[in-house]
Amino acid sequence: MKLGLIVPSDDNPYASTLLAALLAAGDRPAGVLCSHRSALSRAIACARTQGIGAMLRRIRSRYDPTGTVKDEVRRCLARFASDQKLANWNRRISATCRQLGIPYLRAAGVNDPAAVAFAQGLDLDLLLSTAGDIYRAGMLAAPQIGILNAHMALLPEFRGMNVLEWSVFCGRPIGVTVHFVAPKIDAGDIVVARELLIKPGDTLATLRARSLTLNVTLMLEAVRLLRADATGCRRPGDGPGRQYFVMHHRLRAIVERRVQRLAGSYSAR
Amino acid sequence: MSSDHAEPRKDVRPAGGTRLRAIGRMAVRSSHQWVVLRDALGLRERKAADAEHLRAAMAWLCRAQDISGCGGVSAGYYLASGWLPPYPETTGYIIETFLRYGAGTAHDTRGLASPARDTPAATGGGRYIDRAVRMGDWECEIQLPDGGVRGQIGVNDYPIVFNTGQVMLGWLALHRHTGEQRYLDAAARAGDWLAKIQEPDGRWVRHSHNGIPHAYHARVAWPLLELAAVTHDARHADAGERFTAWVLRQVRSNGWIGHMGFVAEPWAYTHTIAYTMRGLLESSAFLEGDLQREARRVVTTMAEKLLMLFELAKDDPRGRPRDLPGAFDEDWRPVGTKATCCCSSDTSGHAHQQVDSVRHHGPRHHGPRYTCLTGDAQLAIVWLKLYRLTGDARLVNAALKLIDQVKSTQRLGSRHPGIRGAVAGSYPLWGGYERFGYPNWAAKFLADAIMLQEQVMGELEGFA
């Protein structure tokens, strides 16, 4: 099975860990597509469509002075990589590709004509997506079997954005689902899903980080299942459920308190 | 101007002379230049605590009442014309805002509803309730002998259906709060008049804005049903139910309701869309059986549609939504304003004769983008209220974002008393709705939205 990988940036720790895990499992990707636009081009696009004020607000909102979430993600992935004995999990993806001779393309977006041509040229069976972009028909049709995405909630109940937080908010089980990307958001066939349990001491940041390691595990499992039986492991993903959107910070604060309360009650048991 | 108090103003953009006056005033007043420049650059205001925004809006409403000198609340502050005369319709529904805020100051535990600092008369909740009583008394004084409420801004000699319903809401709120019979009597006289002029099929055409039926008269059915719940007068209940049944017959398969706009063309500002939704939702509390279920289903469908239109309009899936367009057409496509004059489509009649000097304008689909701030605040209220019915937390989430967007346009630091704490009709100021103006109903609905938001968030945070 010929695999390709789509990454959101060259130094994304989740994407580089997945690449390292694929290589460790003997699944060398036929190509890697980086859909990263430079900060300058994103800022210009934002200023053009929404004004200078919106651009300044966006830059400010992206800046994480404490680095809490990113640090937690790196810590968690480092532990995972150590347990799995993954080499170069924290290395720039382009450097790994260069070293191993894997074709690597940096494009302005996943639907950029150059990106679509790159994916088509590789004659792929399966694309693994670590970018949260919306895929259009051209890219969706590029791989033979389809594009796999790891979603941070149990589908089909929670589609869309910030679904880990929404699952906690609604008092539902949290978990990860690996599914095929379809024109309707998060409604493609489901390949594999697993619940994630809240542990003592968990916070929202640690849950998100642990969820990323589960993403990697389930992506590898999905590839294995599809290799064994490309159709038998699929079940419909377009069931009853709602599409959720970016959570407002006040609701997120409620979720944070709920996670800590749940984590506290588990540790008390 | 037109026959309907708030309504005629709301769909009118300044004529050439008015625009020139606005430009002239902007050229000499630095506070005017500054607000226009900020909007031109897309700069938003620094967001403060909700309590600050609420206090500022209430202080502005107090100034708008004081400036009129009669108990009524000035229709608003406009860059071209300054403070306008009092507006009977909106003064009517502002009463409830003051009562709620006043009650909040008496029982406030969240620091939300403390008195406006820059209002000399404000020394506690009682002051706001006194103000609400003055508003209600003024409305009683100017009520027409037949029971109707005067149309348009100022004190005019013709009644308008919509205005009558909005003032009834204020009188009913005052009756609930004070227990005084005169407010209930005034509301009952208004209800009698509305029942008398209603068409056999349930809609109102006579004494209606532009002489055409409007779906947003659901906000007239609501006080009629509320009145009937107090007086047990079957005529009022029947009038409310018949209108609700008429509106539900206007619902299309895509969730759009016909006649939601000010004019006959199939488009509407979010202001009147939210009026319609709120009217149906509130009416449903007094209805039973199929009518109640259908009214709630229709509002839920529209709320979901607008939620998607709001949340999905963003450049970055992880980013904030763009401003909600200020108007939509019957296919839920965003609408700009002013392409063709639509006066010819108005039905002739009493109301039309009074609006013939007003130029109405049809939609165009690719006009400049703007958002209708009062519509945004009203929609947030509908989402929050609907959340309590459905438990769909996405509605609270969207309401919080939409209220944030409105707050980010409210100038808290301006030295100009007409601008400080006010909420504009449109963002940017030159958008298609209430151009270069700060109408009183925008501040009212923002204040209502913040108070309701804090109630809902208090429940959620307590549960967390």
Summarised one tens digit per residue, pLDDT across range A159-202 is 999 999 999 999 999 999 999 999 988 999 999 999 999 999 89
Confidence of residue B387 (pLDDT cuts 50, 70, 90): very high
**Does B401 sit within 8 Å of A50, measured CB to CB?**
no
Rounded to whole angstroms, the Cα distance separating B78 from B82 reads: 5
**Chain A residues lying within 8 Å of B394, measured CB to CB:** 242, 244-245
- Tell me, yes or no, whether A172 and A246 share the same domain: yes
pLDDT tens per residue across span A67-122: 555 778 888 888 998 898 988 888 999 999 999 999 999 998 899 999 999 999 99
Quote the CA–CA distance of B343 and B346 in Å, as a whole number. 5
pLDDT in tens, A145-160: 999 999 999 999 999 9
The number of beta carbons lying within 10 Å of the beta carbon of residue B29 is 15
Say if residue A160 is in the same domain as residue A134: no
Per domain, the residue ranges of chain B are: 6-463
* Residue B344 reports pLDDT greater than 50: no
Q: Is A199 inside any structural domain?
A: yes
One domain, residues A210 and A124 = no
Provide the pLDDT for residue B340. Answer: 34
Q: For chain A, what is the domain count?
A: 2
Q: Does B398 touch chain A (CB under 8 A)?
A: yes
What local confidence, expressed as pLDDT, does residue B253 receive? 96
Contact between chains at B400 and A248 (C-beta distance less than 8 A)? yes
Query: Do A140 and A179 share a structural domain?
Result: no
A251–B461 CB contact, under 8 Å = no
Cβ–Cβ of B394/A244 closer than 8 Å? Answer: yes
CATH number at residue A133: 3.40.50.12230
**3 state DSSP class of B257:** strand
Tokens read off for B390: 């459905």
What number is the average pLDDT over the span A6-29?
93
Q: Which one of A50, A57, A245 has the shortest CB-CB distance to B311?
A: A245
Cβ within 8 Å, pair B318-A244: no
Model confidence pLDDT, tens digit, residues A209-260: 999 999 999 999 999 999 998 777 888 888 888 999 999 999 999 999 999 9
Whether residue B2 has pLDDT greater than 90: no
* Of A144, A174, A207, the domain-final residue: A144
Peptide bond into B321 cis (omega under 30): no
> Is the pLDDT score of B32 beyond 90?
no
Per-residue pLDDT at A48: 67
pLDDT of amino acid B3: 38
Q: Is B394 on the interface with A (CB under 8 A)?
A: yes
Residue A79 lies in a domain: no
Over the stretch A32-53, which tens digit does the pLDDT of each residue have?
Answer: 999 877 777 777 777 766 667 6
Check residue A89 and give its pLDDT: 87
Residue B399 has pLDDT above 90, yes or no: yes
Where a domain ends, among A129, A144, A159?
A144
Residue B347 has pLDDT above 80, yes or no: no
Instruction: Kindly tell me if the per-residue pLDDT of B110 is higher than 70.
Output: no
The two three-digit tokens of residue B61, written as one number: 């409403």
Look at residue B107 in the predicted model and tell me its pLDDT. Answer: 53
Q: Rounded to two decimals, what is the model's pTM?
A: 0.87
The residue of chain B nearest to residue A257, with distances taken between CA atoms, is B464
Euclidean distance between CA atoms A131 and A159, whole angstroms? 16
- CATH number of the domain located at residue range(s) B6-463 in this protein: 1.50.10.10
What was the pLDDT predicted at B367? 57
CB-closest option in B315, B319, B397 to A251:
B397
Q: How confident is the model at residue A267 (pLDDT cuts 50, 70, 90)?
A: low
In a domain, A168, yes or no: yes
Tell me if B41 and A247 make a contact (CB, 8 A cut-off): no
Looking at residue B151, its pLDDT comes to: 93
**Using CB atoms within 10 A of its CB, is residue B341 exposed (0-12), middle (13-18) or buried (19+)?**
exposed
Among the partner residues B315, B316, B464, nearest to A254 by beta-carbon distance: B464
Residues A130, A12 within the same domain: yes
Q: How far apart are the first and last CA of chain A?
A: 46
The whole domain housing A164 covers: 149-269
- Mark which residues 9-68 of B lie under 8 Å from A by CB: 41-44
Contact B42 A51 (CB under 8 A): yes
Q: Judge whether residue B420 has pLDDT over 50.
A: yes
Our CA dihedral for B295, B297, B301, B307, rounded to 10 degrees, sits at: 90
For residue B53, the SS3 value is helix
CA A264 vs. chain centroid, Å, equals 28
